[in-house]
Amino acid sequence: MRASWAALILAAITAGLILALALLLGTCGPSEDIAREPLTIVAANGTTARLQVEIADSAEERQTGLMGRTELAPDTGMLFVIEPPGRGFWMKDTRLPLTVAFIAECGRILAFADLQPLSEEIKNTSLDYRFGLEVDRGWFERNGIAAGDIVSLPRRFRASTC
């Protein structure tokens, strides 16, 4: 009986160590459970770029954004549904160098702004926008995305006039 208890305790300790190592190495944990949706951007020349985005459509999600993250998986980002439109973006407690695309109600990219890690400076544009798309800095350039290109917004956010 003693041997079976010892084996059980050893198995539990081993499982705990494996889990701790996996979390430390980033092979499992919260980032693996993040819900993402596909998003496509069509460039003026007809090429497309695809990424997976988290949706921030509640006040709490918009305020939290990508705070506390130390990395983004390749070709991922966060789509902010701005209520009311045109509120601006900041990087409080966000350590990643990001770029935000300001997007009009029907999906046209209006402008971009580079966001500095940990900065509380609000970045905005004078143009009317309804969405913001944050991605790793350089992603838009690497994928040939420019102002005027069209983001295929998730159906539930598309205005009926678009």
pLDDT band at 32 (very low <50, low <70, confident <90, very high): low
Residue 132: predicted pLDDT: 96
Residues 70, 149, single domain; the answer is: yes
Name the amino acid, one letter, at 13: I
| Same domain for 41 and 29 | no
Do 26 and 104 sit in the same domain of this protein?
A: no
Q: Which pLDDT value is given to residue 87?
A: 73
pLDDT of residue 88: 87
User: Same domain, yes or no, for 100 and 151?
Assistant: yes
Number of domains observed in the structure of the chain: 2
Query: Does residue 27 lie within any of the structural domains?
Result: yes
Residues 142 and 86 in one domain: yes
Phi, psi (deg, nearest 5) at residue 10:
-60, -40
Residues 59 and 120 in one domain: yes
Residue 22, pLDDT score: 39
Same-domain status, 2 and 43? no
> 2 falls in which pLDDT band (50, 70, 90)?
low
The lowest-confidence range among 37-46, 60-69, 135-144 is 60-69
Q: What are the Cα distances from residue 11, in Å, to 3, 6, 15, 27?
A: 12, 9, 6, 21
The domain in which residue 100 lies consists of: 36-157
> Based on the domain organization, do 44 and 28 belong to the same domain?
no
Asked if 16 and 43 sit in the same domain, the reply is: no
Within a 13 Å sphere around the CA of 155, how many CA atoms are in the beta-carbon half? 0
How far is it, in rounded angstroms, from Cα 112 to Cα 124?
A: 9
Average pLDDT taken over every residue of the chain: 83
pLDDT at 159: 87
User: Has residue 162 been placed in a domain?
Assistant: no
The predicted model scores a pTM of 0.77
Give a three-class secondary structure readout of the chain: CHHHHHHHHHHHHHHHHHHHHHHHHCCCCHHHHCCCEEEEEECCCCCEEEEEEEEECCHHHHHHCCCCCCCCCCCEEEEEECCCCCCCECCCCCCCCEEEEEECCCCEEEEEEEECCCCCCCECCCCCCCEEEEEECCHHHHCCCCCCCEEECCHHHCCCCC
